[in-house]
Structure 1
Amino acid sequence: MSRELRQAAMSDLPVIVDIYNQTIPGHQVTADLKPVTVSQRRDWFLAHSPEHYPLWVIVQDDLVVGWVSLSPFYGRAAYAKTAEISVYLDRTVQGQGVGSWVLTQLPTELVEVGLTTLVAFIFSSNLPSIKLFKKFDYQQWGFLPAVAELAGHPNDLVILGRHYSH
């Protein structure tokens, strides 16, 4: 099995959107309540840059099976070395070690883009994601109780973070 992390191209946007939309019905991963379209995600895609806030696709055996984005954490200059990480995997590869593989690739990649700190915003009900990030030394840095309503139920937001270097 071959695996690589590569910069996303505009031609990857339909599969990125498809993978994202797979998570919406379960109300565990994203705060979006309705599927998004490729045109709705175009500006988001263009806001990423290989130089600082990359958007990568996870390619396994020549198929895109997931994506990782590093997005600005907060729009002020002092936060420029901190990014929000999002990892989304196609349902066909979840639970197969792909997420762990991605998180092992990050230290090298972060040096290339000048980032030192990552934060992940995860619903408290998303136990597989919390477990994955904690496995890679992310610590709970925040907890926002009942800030989202999904399928008529309140959900908490857990903020996990990790410093990769100072």
Structure 2
Amino acid sequence: MNCRIKEITKSDWNDIAEIYLEGINTNKATFQTEIPTWENWNTSHISSCRLEAILDNKILGWAALSPTSSRCVYAGVAEVSIYICKNSRGQGIGTVLLENLIKISEKNGFWTLQSAIIRENSASIALHKKCGFREIGVREKLGKMRNGIWHDVILMERRSKLVGIN
């Protein structure tokens, strides 16, 4: 996919939020039930690691990191969020975004990226594996969707070969 990757800004929020809502509506991308405000999303994601994919001035997807802990010993560990608009899935946008997010995370000192992916989200699991993540565990019936169905979560991680202990 020949899209442009750039940092997410507040002016992009409406498009980012729309893609996030599409993910919510799949019932397999997140346990979130509502889109957060820009302010809440902004404060919960790492400012140096937020990317969007753009083609023909349209945002096709986004990826961002959020901290896993406020403890300083985990400063190099972050959680991945990645969402692709429904009309652009399966076209390689997720790969481009995640590969770029990995590069920028390493430039910012992150040695471990982790993801918690709902088991039924096989496309996201495959994407993460393609980009060097490995499955490290399963949390059974971790969360319930608004339809009342409980879901397992696959835990995945990627250790940097450039940052931290190798």
- Which residue of 2 is the match for residue 154 of structure 1? 150
- Which residue of 2 is the match for residue 99 of structure 1? 94
Contact 1:147 1:154 in 2 (8 A): yes
The structural deviation recorded for 1:143 is 1.1
- Which residue of 2 is the match for residue 28 of structure 1? 28
Contact 1:2 1:61 in 2 (8 A): no
Contact 2:10 2:38 in 1 (8 A): no
Q: Report whether the alignment pairs 1:163 with 2:159.
A: yes
- Which residue of 2 is the match for residue 76 of structure 1? 71
Over the aligned positions, Cα root-mean-square deviation in angstroms equals 1.7
- The 5 A counterparts of 1:132-147 are 132-147=127-142
Report the CA distance shift for 1:144/1:86 in structure 2 as closer, same or farther (over 3 A): same
| Alignment TM-score, normalising by the size of structure 1 | 0.88
Segments ≥4 residues shifted beyond 2 Å? 46-51, 103-108
Contact 1:81 1:115 in 2 (8 A): yes
CA distance in 1: counterparts of 2:44 and 2:126, whole angstroms: 29
**What secondary structure, in the 3-state scheme, does the structure 2 residue paired with 1:142 have?**
strand
Report the CA distance shift for 1:104/1:79 in structure 2 as closer, same or farther (over 3 A): same
Report the CA distance shift for 1:24/1:138 in structure 2 as closer, same or farther (over 3 A): same
- Paired residues in the alignment total 161
Report the CA distance shift for 1:146/1:48 in structure 2 as closer, same or farther (over 3 A): closer
- Which residue of 1 is the match for residue 9 of structure 2? 9
**Structure 2 gap ranges (5+):** none
- One-letter amino acid of the counterpart of residue 5, structure 1: I
Percent identical residues: 27
Contact 1:7 1:50 in 2 (8 A): no
User: Which string of whole-angstrom CA distances, capped at 9 and with x for unpartnered residues, describes residues 92-123 of structure 1?
Assistant: 10011111122332343123211111001100
CA distance in 1: counterparts of 2:112 and 2:123, whole angstroms: 22
- Once the two structures are overlaid, the 10-residue window that deviates more, 104-113 or 69-78, is 104-113
CA distance in 1: counterparts of 2:149 and 2:56, whole angstroms: 39
- One-letter amino acid of the counterpart of residue 88, structure 2: V
The structural deviation recorded for 1:47 is 4.3
The structural deviation recorded for 1:81 is 0.5
User: Which string of whole-angstrom CA distances, capped at 9 and with x for unpartnered residues, describes residues 39-90 of structure 1?
Assistant: x232221444544xx2211112321111111110122110001110111011
- One-letter amino acid of the counterpart of residue 117, structure 1: T
| Alignment TM-score, normalising by the size of structure 2 | 0.88
**Structure 1 gap ranges (5+):** none
Contact 2:119 2:154 in 1 (8 A): yes
